[in-house]
Amino acid sequence: MKGRKKISNNQKTLRGTDQPCRMDPQVPALGPAGTLPVLPKSSLKGTAKRLYTVLGTEMLCNNMLDVASLDLLVAYCREMALYNDMMKAVEKEGVTVEVETKAGTVTQINPKRKVAEGALANAQRLASEFGLSPASRGRVAALLTGNTPKDDFADFEIIDIQEP
């Protein structure tokens, strides 16, 4: 399906665009406020599980999470966990590693670093879906407090009507 990406009802409310014609009645709300759905045991482990608990609770408290976006949250947590785990391994092993080839020993970039960079890029894309980037948070915070930035061209829009 082409077109704009769907935005959850809670994100529409946060942005101030929650008009009845724009609300999606098919998006069910999560359970009672403050309860994060428990995932199957095999779903998340270690760092990803901790990220899911912390980030999911925070997003739930800010009304940014619904059933439709739960899978994206799990994917984001997995990518960030992969990034964190790979970077810990890179810190232990070093940024470069020695590799034995036919020609001898070659120094190359640690492959775990490349995996970490890919995971971070994927996590950044998923974060933009949730509005987790600093720019997105700034826009939402401005909408909530009413501190929308002034239009740079507002001074030029003054219309002077002179009477003859």
Winning range, highest mean pLDDT, from 5-14, 47-56, 79-88? 79-88
> pLDDT grade, residue 69 (50/70/90)?
confident
**Cα–Cα distance for residue pair 14/141, rounded to 1 Å:** 9
**Domains in the chain: boundaries:** 9-145
Average pLDDT over residues 43-72: 81
**Predicted local confidence at residue 30, as pLDDT:** 52
Model pTM above 0.85: no
Q: To the nearest whole number, what is the mean pLDDT of the chain?
A: 77
* Whether pLDDT at 140 is above 80: no
Average pLDDT over residues 111-135: 86
Is there a contact between 82 and 120 (Cβ–Cβ < 8 Å)?
A: no
Give the DSSP letter string of 30-55. Answer: PSSTT-PPPPPTTT--HHHHHHHHHH
